[in-house]
Amino acid sequence: MYGVQALCGAEVTALAAARPQAGFVLATYTFGSGEVPASTARFLALHGHLLRGVVVSGSYHWGERFGRAGDLIAGQYRVPLIARINKAGSAADREAVAGWLRAEATARGSGRSMYGTLD
């Protein structure tokens, strides 16, 4: 999601180093056959109350389980699933996420931070 940073100026921080103080968007992946990664679950247990949206990556070859972690997180924390991205994603994917972040920043009058699982 570092390409998103260049498109809209969002702060992008690795999950392990993140200590959010305000609303943020989470970029994560789907683990195994559709689970939320353990590191993501631990992070959200501490900071989920600040979550504003989720972007998830995965692989189309998982079929219905493609990006399932994003569905689980969005449902549990009642936030939008901003994008479901195949593998590393495309320029269109990055622009869609950046567009959402810009729209949210305009609507709320503030910037957004983005945290992601890299493990």
* 81 inside domain: yes
DSSP-assigned letter for residue 117: -
CA 70 to chain CA mean position, Å: 8
How high is the pLDDT of residue 34?
A: 86
Whose CA is closest to 80, among 96, 62, 64?
A: 96
* 113 inside domain: no
How high is the pLDDT of residue 3?
A: 55
The count of structural domains within the chain is: 1
How high is the pLDDT of residue 96?
A: 87
CATH number at residue 88: 3.40.50.360
Rounded mean pLDDT for each run of 10 residues along the chain, 119 residues in total: 54 80 89 89 95 89 86 96 88 86 74 49
* 39 inside domain: yes
51 is in which domain, residue-wise?
2-14+22-108
